[in-house]
Amino acid sequence: MTGPLHRFDQPGTYIGRSVERADASRLVEGEGTYVDDLQLPRMTHAAFVRSQHAHAKIKHIDVDAARAHTGVVAVFTGADINPLVKPYVGILTHLQGLRSPPQLPMADQVVRCQGEPVVMIVAQSRAIAEDACELVQIEYEPLKALVSAEQALDKDAPTIHPELDNNTAWVREIDVGDASAAFSRADVTVVERTFLFGRHTGVTVEPRSVVVEYNRSDNTMVFHYSGQAPHMMQAILAKHLDFAEENVRVVTRDVGGSFGIKIHTYGDEIATAVAAKLLRRPVKFIADRLESFTSDIHARDHRIQGRIGVDSDGRIVALEIDDLTGIGPYSMYPRTSAIECNQILNLTGAPYQIDHYRARGTVVFQNKNMMCQYRAVGHPVAMAVCDSLLEEVAGEIDMDVVDIRRRNLIADDAYPVTSATGMKFADLSHQQSLERLVELMNYDQLRADQSDRRKKGCYRGIGLVSMVEVTNPSPMFYGVGGAPISAQDGATVRLDAAGALHVSCSITESGQGTHTILAQIAADVFGVDIARVKVSTGDTAHVPYGGGTWASRGAGIGGESVLLAADALKAQVLEVASSILQTTPDTLDIENGVVVNADGDDKISLDELGKIVYYRGNELPAGVNAELIATRHYRVTDYPFVFTNGAMAAHVEVDIETGFIKVLDFWVVEDCGRVINPKLVDEQIRGGVVQGIGGALYEECLYDEEGQYLNATMADYLVPMAGEMPDIHIAHIETPTCTSTLGAKGAGEAGTGGAPAAILNAVNDALRPLNASIFQMPMTPERVLNALKA
């Protein structure tokens, strides 16, 4: 009997051959040991030794003890893994001037942020791999760490990448109208503020996870991952690991939360794929919570100087912002780390009529973990800056915050409208949403109650925000910039012999209810009970090509493709049924799984029709082409994006003795077009609001001056819990988008995008009688007390 036996001839190199089973126990002279796969678990597990330094040279790596540790299968360094990977660069061509050095999966010679993978241990279990990691000895020569964006811009700062002349990754400027002239008018009141937004991250229930299998016989790879965009990852793995794209299969099942952090290219995941190919055994990597905090992308981390000018009637005459953000040592691949800054420049002031707008964004490299897209990319910053400035200037001219919005929001009958930054808006309802919000929250009564409580030393505040949300993006978002990211989604709908529908779609399930929504659409369009609809997603071998789940596009793009496919299949079925019943298709319909005539009389069940087509095709008239399957794709073509809009309000109480902020109530009025499943939409909004509250009050990735992450545990990184959550009251306006038949816009990110602004405004409203204010998030008790002292 023979078995595949393997020997390590060189560090990181795995060589296989077959020998007699009896030879399995023989110790081979030289540098390696034979291992009999038949005596070991086939699955192997990866763990990483990560950099302890934010910036350092790697002087020496000693892995001998780790390699000799019982149960270790392989030890890899960057010198072993990186030559097998084509470097990747996080730029998009339509973000003109964006630059970033090539990236590789593991650090080699220099580490540029804490947590960067340096050594990879593959072992029979995760525990063994972690034990072996403790045996690795690495000698570093520390270099100066540039932790803040301001440091990185200093004229005397060293360059993080010697091949670049400075640490600037990207600069964009917008200048529409004449802001300087508008601000200088005698009748204009100007307010200026500086805003600070702390870093935070996704904290998903399920961490990043991959299991990778390689089959040498046909040179194929199966990449199981807890992620959002299977076809994107298929293209990336094929390109950078030198596979034919059809030889890479990516499988994504139910994902335990993603929030945008699982849509990027991570070095540890690419290294795991390389190891599986070298070892010809499955390799599993699951990030632990510490690894998640230090290596999952972070978001926000902006310093924005903003000013707004309004005339004596409270109308906005000019708006200006200057955004500085640090993104870590590289721009993330393939979506880039400049998108958040770009979104902030594009979306600040978006709900309002503004003729004079000036903005500058500066994106710099730094020695912290990489920054990239996280739920509501840029929206929380853009909405907070503009609406905070608006409420501040309303206080200066003694105008109510609702009234100043009424004067400046784009009219509901004005669409289509193009903003100062070139954003094309259609089918929005800002004015209607604001009025519904005022009614929902009983605004006048809240103001009266607030006034009474202030007399008793209780400081409560009310804050509002009017907002937009980018959803249903077109190819103008990523594809135009050269990224392998599809803006379309596809769906295949098939009728089986028992009369059930099978839907496969390129949208993925991350806990947002994708399968339910797609099943609803298919069932309603086709005419069957939802219980007879089976949905599958997330497998590049079995679903049509598409973009996956990001940018609140599941219902709007994926759902539209299901609608089109189900409608096409229904037409096929009625064509077949009409030939069987000797009538015309326009006299038939499908109701509850039965083909009926114009009078609603049952004529033939779908299971009987299916059996005729699949088993007794001889009963069909000649020339009938009965496929009973349809595939359709959909992408937005008329606009770069489909925008959702909404209005939100927060009611808070600030304890001026402790600095603690309690959110008492929160209200949301959302216009996400056609609401397909009200319960799912409402819970998406509530979940988004909770994450927005986290960013506003609790969550922050803290670093010291040497780039050491200070709070990378759930004991130290605060997330909002049930006890901190207010009642979240939700109402809807439905303005279907004109870009699709379904009329659905996205709803997944609005809560996160708007909640921080509403809470910031509410806190400052509470502090206003004390002549105090705060413009830094999260608004921790310490910062509130400092604001009160100031």
Could you tell me the two tokens for 544?
């049509």
What type of residue is 114? Q
Please choose, from the candidates 161, 166, 192, the residue with its C-alpha nearest in 3D space to the C-alpha of residue 179.
192
Task: Give dist(CA 759, CA 779) in Å, integer.
Answer: 9
CB of 424 within 8 A of CB of 464? no
Report pLDDT for 790. 87
Task: Give dist(CA 39, CA 43) in Å, integer.
Answer: 12
Domain for residue 199, yes or no? no
DSSP of 570-594: HHHHHHHHHHHHTS-GGGEEEETTE
Report pLDDT for 41. 59
Task: Give dist(CA 240, CA 423) in Å, integer.
Answer: 34
Mean pLDDT, all residues of the chain: 93
Q: How far apart are the first and last CA of the chain?
A: 81
Statement to judge: residues 687 and 571 lie in one domain: no
Domain for residue 575, yes or no? yes
Please choose, from the candidates 222, 276, 219, 267, the residue with its C-alpha nearest in 3D space to the C-alpha of residue 243.
219
Statement to judge: residues 77 and 213 lie in one domain: yes
Statement to judge: residues 285 and 369 lie in one domain: no
Domain for residue 200, yes or no? no
> Residues 146, 149, 151, 153: is their CA dihedral positive or negative?
positive
Report pLDDT for 102. 97
CB of 704 within 8 A of CB of 682? no
98: phi then psi, degrees, rounded to nearest 5? -65, 135
Domain for residue 456, yes or no? yes
Statement to judge: residues 650 and 782 lie in one domain: yes
Statement to judge: residues 429 and 308 lie in one domain: yes
Domain for residue 1, yes or no? no
Strands 117-123 and 44-50: antiparallel
Domain for residue 155, yes or no? no
Please choose, from the candidates 70, 42, 107, 90, the residue with its C-alpha nearest in 3D space to the C-alpha of residue 481.
90
Task: Give dist(CA 45, CA 268) in Å, integer.
Answer: 12
Buried b (16+ CB within 10 A) or exposed e, 732-748: bbebbbebbebbbbbbb
Which residue in this structure is represented by tokens 């299968």?
A: 73
29 CB-contact burial (10 Å; exposed 0-12 / middle 13-18 / buried 19+): exposed
Report pLDDT for 608. 97
Report pLDDT for 1. 31
Report pLDDT for 25. 32
Please choose, from the candidates 482, 486, 549, 477, the residue with its C-alpha nearest in 3D space to the C-alpha of residue 90.
482
Q: How far is CA 226 from CA 125, 232, 256, 540, 735, in A?
A: 20, 13, 8, 14, 34
Domain for residue 480, yes or no? no
Q: What angle do CA 488, 490, 494 make, to 5 degrees?
A: 170
What is the CATH number for 24? 3.30.365.10
Helix (H) or strand (E) holding 130, with range, is: helix 126-133
Statement to judge: residues 391 and 429 lie in one domain: yes
Statement to judge: residues 619 and 659 lie in one domain: no
Report pLDDT for 569. 98
Task: Give dist(CA 773, CA 391) in Å, integer.
Answer: 12
Task: Give dist(CA 74, CA 121) in Å, integer.
Answer: 6
Could you tell me the two tokens for 577?
């049924």
CB of 331 within 8 A of CB of 91? yes
Domain of 751?
A: 298-475+638-789
Q: Omega before 101 cis (within 30°)?
A: no
What is the CATH number for 254? 3.90.1170.50
Look at residues 634, 663, 685 and tell me which one is the last residue of a structural domain. Answer: 634
Domain for residue 106, yes or no? yes
Q: How many domains does the chain have?
A: 3
Which residue in this structure is represented by tokens 């739920």?
A: 375
Tell me the pTM: 0.93
* Mean pLDDT by groups of 10 residues along the chain of 790 residues: 36 35 30 42 93 98 98 97 98 96 97 98 98 98 97 96 97 97 97 97 96 97 97 98 98 94 97 97 97 96 98 98 98 97 97 98 98 96 98 98 98 96 95 98 98 96 98 90 94 97 97 95 97 98 95 95 98 96 96 95 96 94 90 94 97 98 98 97 96 97 97 96 94 97 95 98 98 98 96
Statement to judge: residues 646 and 539 lie in one domain: no
Which residue in this structure is represented by tokens 């892995």?
A: 63
273: phi then psi, degrees, rounded to nearest 5? -65, -40
Please choose, from the candidates 628, 627, 635, 629, the residue with its C-alpha nearest in 3D space to the C-alpha of residue 506.
635
